[in-house]
Amino acid sequence: MKARKVVLVDAIRTAFGRAGEKGIFWNTRADDMVVKVIRELMRRNPQVKPEMVDENAWGVFCQEKDQGLTLGRTSVILAGLPETTAGYSIDRMCAGGMSAITTAASEIALGACDVAIAGGVEHMGHHPMGATADPNPRFLTDRLVDESAMSMGATAENLHDMFPEISKEMADEYSLICQQKADAAIKSGKIGEMIVPMTVYTKDGWVVADKDEQPRPNTTPEGLAQLRTPFRVMGKVTAGNSSGLNDGAAGCLLMTKDKAEELGIQPKMELKAFAYAGVKPEIMGIGPIPATKKALQVADIKFEDIGLVELNEAFAVQAVAFMNEFGLTFPDDPRMNIYGGAIAFGHPLASSGVRLACHLMHAFAARPEVKYGITTMCVGLGQGGTVVWKNLRRNGEKAEKAEKKEKHEAEKKDEKKEKKKG
């Protein structure tokens, strides 16, 4: 059986709030955020009738309380999808949403379903990371993992040790640019296009949550330099060069390419390949590097073919290490996180993998000459995940030139092969 082509036709998210009592989503349930995203995806794509949605996959790290009871299935019922729509929850810590996408896409590729919703949610205000977890004591007593593996900030300090050439000043410089890119994208209205407004109840009464709370547009080099280093005395990791603790949900609509054509929908991008890789838990931030190499090998393309990179910045040091590995220009490569990343927008764990896909979808529209892009992220306890996407909205003079160049290079390769045979 030949795998079917899987396309993403739309992606949307809630605003990302700050976790805790002062955050805009403090009195809002996580499953209600999921329902809002599902309903918005259906509203924006009226060609897709509710009965067409075969599967509803949701990534969530803390699967308890308002994030428990198999959220993928309960949100089917809450959102008003028909009882024939199946659903499940999936956990790969930070990459839960990314795993929801790749798992649902695998179902589509193998013919198990034609249309699926995939998303991720995390309410870190209600569910602090790992608060109710009970790690096996053998992790530490038998030294199966380094003690620092249990603290994400400590793993970032370990990366600074691993790459001493990446200074705190470099991490701060990268973070400043991230905030500046995000501010420009917000002011241009680009980020607003990605957010579904949601009416929520707060201490000030009912308000509309339609803006991210995490961005700090007034960030300065001086301010970043003065922040304390909570994970190590005289360390390099601060709140300014790390992602925040946040609440939010993001979702996307996936289907076969044939189904999109049948419904008259213009798909935005095609999932070409994906891969996950394991690394030492104490240096989990390095995970995107082997995952990207593996995914590119599966896709049979080179990194030089990648025109856009959406990397989840759990920590600046992890992003800079990735840039150095793949030859991206520090501190501001035109391919890298063009709207800013998690240092500015926040990282509500399982939702971030889908937020990356949403950003890339819009970036592809802004850069129609680009053929391939990737979404990639590190994962707690030592993993990385990468998805390779193809831009399905290529047009314009730049795209035509790129197509001609690719065709010419392919013809030259074929000629060389023929000469070798001869």
- Establish whether 347 is a catalytic residue: yes
Contact status, residue 114 vs residue 105, Cβ threshold 8 Å: no
Q: Are strands 306-311 and 269-278 parallel, antiparallel or unpaired?
A: unpaired
Q: Residues near 290 by Cβ (< 8 Å), separated by ≥ 6?
A: 277, 279, 384
Single out the catalytic residue among 347, 358, 359, 362. 347
Q: Distance between CA 400 and CA 405 in Å, rounded?
A: 9
DSSP assignment string, 327-374 = TPPSS--TTB-TT--HHHH---GGGHHHHHHHHHHHHHHH-TT--EEE
Helix (H, G, I), strand (E, B) or coil at 227: coil
Single out the catalytic residue among 94, 113, 178, 252. 94
Residue 331 preceded by cis peptide, ω within 30: yes
Helix (H, G, I), strand (E, B) or coil at 121: strand
Q: Distance between CA 203 and CA 79 in Å, rounded?
A: 26
- Establish whether 178 is a catalytic residue: no
> Any idea which residue has 């030859």 for tokens?
327
3-state secondary structure 37-53: HHHHHHHHCCCCCHHHC
Helix residue ranges per DSSP H, 95-167: 96-109, 138-141, 152-162
Single out the catalytic residue among 62, 113, 358, 378. 378
- Establish whether 94 is a catalytic residue: yes
Contact status, residue 321 vs residue 166, Cβ threshold 8 Å: yes
Q: From its phi and psi, is residue 369 left (phi > 0), alpha (psi between -120 and 50) or beta?
A: alpha
Both structure tokens of 182: 């995000």
> Any idea which residue has 């870190």 for tokens?
124
Both structure tokens of 129: 């990371």
List the catalytic residues: 94, 347, 378
